[in-house]
Structure 1
């Protein structure tokens, strides 16, 4: 939860390392996705300053069109002055209408921020609000309460062993090189290395074909009528770990992590095909399935990601 304005107006946001804009629904928006979420009213804030700059952001599952404004934003006790953010005027997607959060807080680099809006983490750094220019993320293993983003620090009680530090290969997303994706010690995808992003805003593991199709084949996933890849639940006990080899270190995911049990008791593969193309090629996306197993540190000062097994 964050608050914007004076007096504060509260919003729940998704802390998204795969985008760079901060935005919330506003009273200017009458889309269904706005009317059933909390909406920011600039008239009620004495510190709000408006602009005439428009902003638009696209996600894998929805989009937002709006206008930029400036106000005081408070995140976990850190008060950021004159933070630019988007006030949505239109959220045309049905997906955003049904999510439990109001808006997005992007934690990626300024280079991918729509309308050149300064990301909130950059302002935290420039306003000297952090003891270290990094943040870390802990996601609980089974979607219970207790997940957090820690700004300016690392909490070593939430992981075991040492962090493996991986240099960034681009300063856009939190992009790193994956050496290979293996099962039983042999590559099943990405055999010659590939680029991936660590993305807290994506729930699954995603990547290009033929890699993902091959993984589905290896784990015995079959495409259902609805287009989802389903696995017989009784398989879970018998399947091996899928290992992401990164910076020479193995990051295994057990089948309990990469197969998701749905509410109706059926079991779905946590891998899906999604093509995110950039100048450096097609990217794999390491989403929450990966982050629930590994505590992650996003270090802007040294342009690195740190990963260690979460407790």
Structure 2
């Protein structure tokens, strides 16, 4: 079974694999983009209706961009706090970090949680857990401690202490774990995901979170918890119902290009996932799209295209809940070198149900500011600034 080199879509805990992904090739060797904002956002919030000035508890947290492949946030665990860098993922619900007793070679390079130095640590009787992801699996044990995301404090938070690290591309990434933000139905049985812990205890005033995924090196990407800063999108948010309360799944009406429907002609499902780098769909449909975009591929690789030929490419339009969301070539074409570009469509979702299901990863999220509203089971979309 092949997998996306990133997190891809996470499988449910305890080893039940649900979503295979096609393995992507490495585009190029590059340096880690370190985004360190000079100033944190003022802690102010906005009601989702955009019509009130009530003082909601709201916070924004900078995300570090790892090669446009993963978005990483700093959290702390324990008393006194031990700091960790964790990948944000909206297709899983569990939190895990590396354990001090992890013996994998990659663990020695990064931070590992030490329960002996935390006065708030609680053991979970050594319950063994296996979490399976698109890029591999981890095994570990359950523990409970205080977790902090900036000024937000989740007391008695259950998480996994990993005894190994994910393989593939992420093995070398600068991260210590993963923090899932999907629905609790995907979490380890009997545990409460961190977002639900924050919401249940009133640490955040609204059960929403939002992403601004920056397309520019000088502007930090952000995770907003408990509210929305409307300065990061243009126009009003358009709301789309969630059809699958596990993953963040919605209905797409059609996908078109040059006024021609190229996919999803009778409607289809799509999963919004910050843990996936590109755009994923059924392999046969993606191949057809690639042929129409790139009839003369470079080196027989359909996704490789001469950069000068991309200048005239039209937008790919996702029609969702009656609204058009164009994705211009700026987003679905990535530059590999001065002359070679890469088309960011990939196959691999044909085994899902329904068969035509798409995954709208970071390529889509960079174009559209996205609000995940758990309280109303809906997703808000608006063009990012």
**TM norm structure 2:** 0.77
Whole-angstrom CA distance in 1 between matches of 2:226 and 2:135:
30
* Deviation of 1:209 (Å): 2.2
1:48 aligns with 2:48: no
- RMSD of aligned Cα (Å): 1.9
* Deviation of 1:115 (Å): 4.3
Aligned positions of 1:235-246 closer than 5 A: 235-246=309-320
Structure 1: runs of 5+ lacking an equivalent: none
1:108 aligns with 2:182: yes
Match of 1:124 among 171, 194, 198: 198
Deviations 1:79-135 (A, max 9, x none): 000111111012251423211222111000111123443211111111111121101
The residue number in structure 1 matching 2:93 is: 20
* Deviation of 1:211 (Å): 1.8
Structure 2: runs of 5+ lacking an equivalent: 1-73
Whole-angstrom CA distance in 1 between matches of 2:361 and 2:138:
22
Whole-angstrom CA distance in 1 between matches of 2:98 and 2:350:
26
**Count of residues in correspondence between the two structures:** 311
Q: Is the 8 A contact 1:166 1:247 kept in 2?
A: yes
Whole-angstrom CA distance in 1 between matches of 2:340 and 2:206:
44
Q: Is the 8 A contact 1:110 1:116 kept in 2?
A: no
Aligned positions of 1:50-199 closer than 5 A: 50-51=123-124, 52-91=126-165, 93-199=167-273
Q: Is the 8 A contact 1:62 1:96 kept in 2?
A: no
Q: Is the 8 A contact 1:206 1:286 kept in 2?
A: yes
Seen in structure 2, the aligned counterparts of structure 1 residues 287 and 116 have a Cα distance that, compared at 3 Å, is farther
Seen in structure 2, the aligned counterparts of structure 1 residues 165 and 60 have a Cα distance that, compared at 3 Å, is same
* Deviation of 1:292 (Å): 0.5
Q: Is the 8 A contact 2:273 2:359 kept in 1?
A: yes
Higher strand residue share: 1
Q: Is the 8 A contact 1:195 1:281 kept in 2?
A: no
Seen in structure 2, the aligned counterparts of structure 1 residues 309 and 92 have a Cα distance that, compared at 3 Å, is closer
Does the residue aligned with 2:310 lie in a helix, a strand or coil? helix
The residue number in structure 2 matching 1:10 is: 83
**TM norm structure 1:** 0.94
* Deviation of 1:275 (Å): 2.0
Following TM superposition, the consecutive aligned residue runs of length 4 or more in structure 1 with deviations greater than 6 angstroms are: 221-228
Q: Is the 8 A contact 1:33 1:96 kept in 2?
A: no
Match of 1:256 among 330, 352, 376: 330
